[in-house]
Amino acid sequence: MTSAGTPLIWSLLAAPAALIGLSIATCVAPANFQLAHMREQPSGAGAVRQLGGFVVVPLFFIGMAVAVWHSPDETRLPAVLGGATALLWIIGILDDRRHLPASVRLVAHLSASAAVALAVDSSATITGGLIAWWLERILLVIGLTAFINMINFMDGMDLMTVAGFGVPLTACVLLLVDGSRGDPVCFATLAIAAALLGFAFFNRPPARLYLGDSGSLPLGLAAGTICVALALKADIVSALLPFGYYLIDFGSTLALRVGRHENLFQAHSQHAYQMARKAGRSEWWVLRRVILVNLVLAVTAWFSINATYAVGVVLAAVLATVCSFGVVVHFRTQGHAFTKA
């Protein structure tokens, strides 16, 4: 077995481990523990507990520990990422329990992002030296913070994080993984993707459990970090393509809310996929389209990374953008489609 074999096996075992862990958690945790108070739920549905993060995130830590054990030369970034993830996990637990002020959450997000950005090899550059090192690190902090909030805000429908986040996350890992050695960050992130499969059993419509901020915040940091790693290996465009739909849905919703002068830190249900739900479309109708576009985006990312000429990267980016925008517009116009029908 290669040095990557054992971490890979442990990462994939996160799926059944999550299923077992969440089964135990649902039985042990009190009925009123970590109830979702801020999230819109189907009419007549009881409050749902936010227990997903209590199992998924520890499996990320275990996956990281196993991978570091087999690759002891690579400890700086994994150690810092582990500490930053722990910070967001605690903040998420507290926020799920008792809504924290936006300032406290933002400081935690920026602190975790800054720690990871500064832990990246100082000789590594995403822009190829086109901008100063310090400016690139500032942009990394902003990008990581954006990913943390994107994954958190987009977790607004049953199974959305599994379909909308798990698929592109897995694509990034597969594009990044090197079978000849064990990359701790890569395999720990794979453990998250696998754990989401176990979580899916409890989160499928109608959901019995939610991920909660204790899960979505750490997952956002892990996603941002794996994108940074992929950008260092290939390029920033290829690294972002798998998350194209999330980026455009999140970005367009943010722009619309800014235009309406709304509080950006306040919970809402204005994402494109949520508008489709409000128009009467089922969760599965939305999820099928999200999964399909994410698979297309994964293919465009692979094509972009393996393109011989720059025109290939441009074509992949254009196709990904058109597909992502198309799905977002498709979701947002469902109300008009129902009216015409």
302 and 195 in a common domain? no
pLDDT grade, residue 292 (50/70/90)? Answer: very high
φ, ψ (nearest 5 deg) of residue 49:
-80, 145
Three-state SS string across 165-219, please? Answer: HHHHHHHHHHHHCCCCCCCHHHHHHHHHHHHHHHHHHHHCCCCCECCCHHHHHHH
287 and 205 in a common domain? no
pLDDT exceeds cutoff 90 at 341: no
Residue 309, classified by CB atoms within 10 Å of its CB into exposed (0-12), middle (13-18) or buried (19+), is exposed
261 and 227 in a common domain? no
pLDDT tens, 20-40? 999 999 999 888 888 876 555
pLDDT tens, 322-340? 999 999 999 999 965 544 4
CA separation for the pair 162, 198 (Å, rounded): 10
Prior bond of 16 cis (ω within 30°): no
Report the pLDDT averaged over residues 279-292: 96
Q: What is the pLDDT of residue 166?
A: 95
Q: Is residue 35 part of a domain?
A: no
314 and 337 in a common domain? yes
pLDDT grade, residue 180 (50/70/90)? Answer: very low
* Nearest C-alpha neighbor of 298 from the set 126, 140, 165: 165
Q: Is residue 150 part of a domain?
A: yes
Three-state DSSP state, 49: strand
pLDDT tens, 134-155? 999 999 999 999 999 999 999 9
Residues 70, 197, 290: CA angle, nearest 5 degrees: 120
pLDDT exceeds cutoff 80 at 43: no
Q: What is the pLDDT of residue 8?
A: 75
144 and 13 in a common domain? yes
Entry field: residues in the chain:
341
227 and 160 in a common domain? yes
Q: What percent of the chain has pLDDT above 90? A: 71
Looking at 10-14, 89-93, 270-274, which range is the least confident one?
10-14
Q: Which amino acid is at 117?
A: A
* Residue where a domain stops, chosen among 208, 233, 258: 233
CA separation for the pair 151, 143 (Å, rounded): 12
Higher pLDDT, residue 323 or 310: 323
* Residue where a domain stops, chosen among 197, 217, 233: 233
pLDDT tens, 90-99? 999 999 988 8
Q: What is the pLDDT of residue 178?
A: 60
* Residue where a domain stops, chosen among 166, 201, 233: 233
Q: Is residue 229 part of a domain?
A: yes
pLDDT grade, residue 165 (50/70/90)? Answer: very high
Query: What domain range includes position 136?
Result: 1-27+49-233
229 and 90 in a common domain? yes
Number of Cβ within a 10 Å radius of residue 1: 7
Q: Is residue 314 part of a domain?
A: yes
Could you tell me the pTM of the whole model?
0.91
218 and 83 in a common domain? yes
327 and 181 in a common domain? no
68 and 126 in a common domain? yes
Q: Is residue 207 part of a domain?
A: yes
> Which H or E run contains 316?
helix 310-332
Q: Is residue 68 part of a domain?
A: yes
The mean pLDDT of the chain is: 89
φ, ψ (nearest 5 deg) of residue 131:
-125, 165
Q: Is residue 32 part of a domain?
A: no
pLDDT tens, 203-234? 999 999 999 999 999 999 999 999 999 999 88
3 and 95 in a common domain? yes
191 and 180 in a common domain? yes
Q: Is residue 34 part of a domain?
A: no
Number of domain units in the chain: 2
